[in-house]
């Protein structure tokens, strides 16, 4: 069940809304695309289900601030942990707004609320910052702790979220967000591939 909880929350969060048009962005085309590999985080997580079809149906290809968008995603598992990776690629005019929309979208369903407010983390090994936090979703009376990290650049946006069935209602403040940011950064490097 937890895997589907994560998928539902994350897919509803896909950060690009239809309507509005802006012609801007780099028309040089995308520099990166997002892939759905068989494993993530150096083999720690194995692909349980490709959810790209579900992601595509939730995301318009053109919205406010994004153009020619393609969505992909995968549901992964590692022991009791369930992780969902969703990615968008195309032209993203304002990466900061894309991150913000994604995070706000995760609490739009009425069942999910912010437990630990998101903040930016720089991966321990250096590199581009990710925005990470913890949400709590109530599913059939059970609180589920959902740890997430989001990133965006001019051609990709990604969202990684994890639950652990052995600690469904783990204290959100006990989550080591720097550690999760490091893991999400590793995943970003595995799924983000240069175009061409």
Note the pLDDT of residue 166: 92
Closest CA to 131 of 183, 66, 181, 71: 181
Q: What is the pLDDT of residue 17?
A: 47
Split at pLDDT 50, 70, 90, the class of 67 is confident
- Phi, psi (5° rounding) for residue 23? -100, 105
Tokens at 148, concatenated: 């997430």
User: Each residue of 148-190: pLDDT tens digit?
Assistant: 999 999 999 999 999 999 998 899 999 999 999 999 999 999 9
Contact 11, 3 (CB under 8 A): no
Q: Count of alpha carbons within 13 Å of 83, Cβ hemisphere only?
A: 24
| 10-49 pLDDT per residue, tens | 666 665 544 444 444 444 555 899 999 999 999 999 999 9
pLDDT for the residue 13: 64
Question: What does the block give as tokens for 132?
Answer: 């990470």
Q: Using alpha carbons, list the distances in angstroms from residue 122 to 1, 89, 106, 160.
A: 32, 22, 22, 16
Q: What is the pLDDT of residue 36?
A: 98
Domains of the chain, by residue range, sit at 2-194
List, in sequence order, the alpha helices (H) in 23-176. 52-58, 95-105
Both tokens of 92, joined, read 């993203």
First to last CA, the chain: 39
Answer for the pair 191, 34: CB distance below 8 angstroms, yes or no: yes
Higher pLDDT, residue 111 or 134: 134
CB 53 within 8 A of CB 36: no
Instruction: Indicate the length of the chain as a whole number.
Output: 196
pLDDT tens-digit profile of 88-129?
999 999 999 989 988 988 888 888 999 999 999 999 999 999
102, 13 Cβ separation under 8 angstroms: yes
């Amino acid at each position: 069940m937890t895997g589907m909880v994560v998928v539902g929350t994350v897919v509803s969060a896909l950060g690009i809304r239809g309507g509005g048009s802006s012609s801007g962005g780099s028309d040089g085309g995308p520099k990166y695309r997002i892939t759905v590999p068989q494993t993530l985080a150096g083999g720690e997580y194995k692909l349980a289900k490709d959810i790209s079809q579900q992601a595509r149906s939730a995301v318009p290809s053109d919205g406010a601030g994004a153009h020619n968008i393609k969505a992909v995603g995968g549901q992964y598992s590692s022991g009791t942990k369930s992780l969902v990776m969703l990615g968008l690629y195309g032209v993203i005019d304002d990466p900061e707004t894309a991150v913000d929309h994604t995070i706000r979208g995760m609490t739009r369903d009425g069942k999910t609320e912010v437990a630990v407010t998101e903040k930016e983390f720089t991966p321990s090994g250096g590199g581009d910052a990710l925005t990470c936090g913890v949400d709590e979703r109530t599913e059939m009376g059970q609180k589920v702790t959902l740890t997430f990290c989001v990133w965006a650049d001019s051609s990709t946006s990604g969202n990684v979220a994890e639950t652990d069935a052995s600690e469904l209602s783990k204290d959100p403040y006990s989550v080591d967000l720097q550690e999760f940011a490091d893991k999400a950064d590793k995943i970003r490097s595995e799924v983000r591939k240069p175009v061409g």
